[in-house]
């Protein structure tokens, strides 16, 4: 399974869990599965065109998916995904 680390802002929409396990696939399929299980998540992560919002950073094994294949980045067994609000730091 793939472990997705859920930021505090989203936890109340995910049964207050710090991490959620999803099936392998891609970042897009992982977000889809999250949405199937926790209503309302997709709107928070994706904009009206279905792209990951600029206000959300998605990391696969500590690498920003914008340096990988964005939402098409593959997720294999054991990979770790972090969702992090973009507006931090500096």
Partner 1 sequence: MSQNGFMKALKCRECGREYPLTATHVCEFDFGPLEVAYDYDRIRRSLTRDAISRRPQTMWRYRELLPVAGEPTVGTQVGFTPLVKADRLARALGIRELYVKNDAVNYPTLSFKDRVVSVALSRSVELGFKTVACASTGNLANSVAANAAAAGLECFVFIPSDLELGKVVNSLVYGATVIGIRGHYDEVNRLCAEIAGKYNWAFVNVNMRPYYAEGSKSMGFEIQEQLGWHVPEHTVVCMASGSLLTKIHKSYQEFSKMGLSSGSKWKIHGAQATGCNPITQAQKAGLDFFKPQKPNTIAKSLAIGTPADGFYALRVMKETGGHGEDVTDDEIRDGIRLLAETEGIFAETAGGVTVGVAKKLIAQGRIPRDSSAVLCVTGNGLKTLDAVVGHVGETREIRPSLREFEALLAKEKSEAATA
Chain contacts with partner 1 (rule: CB under 8 A)? 5, 7-10, 12-13, 18, 43-44, 53-57, 59, 62, 64, 66-67, 82, 84-90
Output the smallest distance, CB 8 to partner 1, in A: 5
CB 64 → partner 1: shortest distance, Å? 6
Sorted by sequence, the CB contacts under 8 Å of residue 55 that are 6+ apart come out as 85, 86, 87
The conformation of residue 79, written as its DSSP 8-state character, comes to -
Token readout for 4 is 């997705």
**Complex with partner 1: residue 67 or 78, whichever CB lies closer:** 67
Q: Which lies closer to partner 1 via its Cβ, residue 12 or residue 37?
A: 12
* CB 36 to partner 1: min, Å: 20
Using CA atoms, how far apart are residues 15 and 56, in angstroms rounded to an integer?
20
Q: Is 36 exposed, middle or buried (0-12, 13-18, 19+ CB in 10 A)?
A: exposed
Decide whether 43 or 72 has the Cβ nearer to partner 1. 43
């Amino acid at each position: 399974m793939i472990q997705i680390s859920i930021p505090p802002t989203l936890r109340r929409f995910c049964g207050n869990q710090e991490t959620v396990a999803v099936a392998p696939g891609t970042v897009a399929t992982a977000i889809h599965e999250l949405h199937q299980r926790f209503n309302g998540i997709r709107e928070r992560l994706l904009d009206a065109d279905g792209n990951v919002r600029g206000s959300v950073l998605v990391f696969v094994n500590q690498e920003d998916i914008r340096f990988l294949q964005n939402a098409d980045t593959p997720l294999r067994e054991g990979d770790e995904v972090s969702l992090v609000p973009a507006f931090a730091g500096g």
